Amino acid sequence: MHRVIISGIGVEIPEASISNDELVESFNAWVDMENARRMATGAEPLQKSDADFIVHASGIKKRHVVERTGILDPTRMAPRLPVRPDEALSLQAEFGIASARKALAHAGREPGEIDLVMVSSSHLQRPYPAIAIEMQEALGTRGAGFDMGLGCSSAAAALHVAVNLVRSGAQKKVLVTTPEIITGHLNFRDRQTHFIFGDASVSMVVEAIGEEETKPGRFEVLDTRLWTQMSSNIRTNLGYLTRTTQDDPYMIDLEGNMIKQVGNKVFKEVTVAGHKFIVEFLAEHGLTPDGIRRFWLHQANARMNAMILKLAFGHEVGHDRAPMVLERLGNTAGAGAIIALSENHADMKPGDFGLLCAFGAGYSIGGALLKMQ
């Protein structure tokens, strides 16, 4: 069985951003229009949002997006992305390639050295051809490519698969890419979720190293773990069969089929599950939270992360121990924990342990125990 490292990490953040104030202004303008319509029909009026509520509920102050004009238009409230012809590179493949090239450069590898491309994200642009195969062709990698997903645990789940493929010798060098264009699937007219997500793309190169070999500044993956438990508290029903449920299958009603969540239940149940997963995973390796130099947790909710770590440590821990990027990027789904890792590891010393851990819909949790080379 081969030793495995993450030899390269790449992150691509869209240039465009939306502040809480901008998002709230658009949302409230739509609420005014909608409430005028509701008043005429006697329906219950909708409640407006505000920036302070968003910060209190999530810790988010702004988010980066692939396109902001359509999102902020109260008559549209969705990204406005032009159709691309079939022979052109898809938006998600393009976004994935942007982070993939950075990861390859960080690893010092050429595309031709990669023998498997895995695209794993909470939302895929289409079912086929696989986005990974499209990336394979555009990059010039060898072997094969396939898509997968596990909600916000998608990158951690793909890392679990990639590590074990390389460890067994089935693959030599794997490119894992998580291009999250989640704003395309977000209901910006839902007060409970319209502020949560942002777009980002991350990539990792996973490869084997020799028994006595070291790669200074890179992480050896000691172990990975997945856990799932069925819950509909974070759910989307938008899929290939959605049209079959409509009276007119050629006029799809999206209302109620996009992302929805029962926030208070998610907070309580994922906090308990996340704490249990972390403590038990570390215990399998004779470790406690105190023995971990840094935690890179899923970037969904600042209060949730703080509570999980407080339960694990018995006291509060700060940014140095568990860095957050949520405030400026929002919840970037599967990409968030990898961004936190990319931005917060250069000060770690050889032999330091780190724990990557993401959790999300399913419920699902993915973890990787890392050791600095």
Catalytic residues: 152
CA 9 to the chain's CA centroid: 15
Residue 349 carries which DSSP code?
P
Those residues with Cβ within 8 angstroms of residue 29's Cβ, 6 or more apart along the chain or in another chain: 74
φ/ψ (deg, to 5) at 12 = -125, 120
- CB of 371 closer than 8 Å to CB of 217: no
CA-to-CA distance for 364 and 362, rounded, in angstroms? 5
Distances (CA, A) of 236 to 81, 155, 249, 298: 21, 19, 19, 19
CA-to-CA distance for 178 and 161, rounded, in angstroms? 14
In what side-by-side order are the strands of the sheet with 173-180?
144-148, 116-120, 173-180, 200-209, 3-12, 219-228, 364-372, 353-360, 294-297
Lookup: tokens for 225: 């773990």
Residue 194 carries which DSSP code?
T
In this structure, is the dihedral angle defined by the CA atoms of residues 16, 333, 182 and 124, taken in order, positive or negative?
positive
Q: How far apart are the first and last CA of the chain?
A: 19
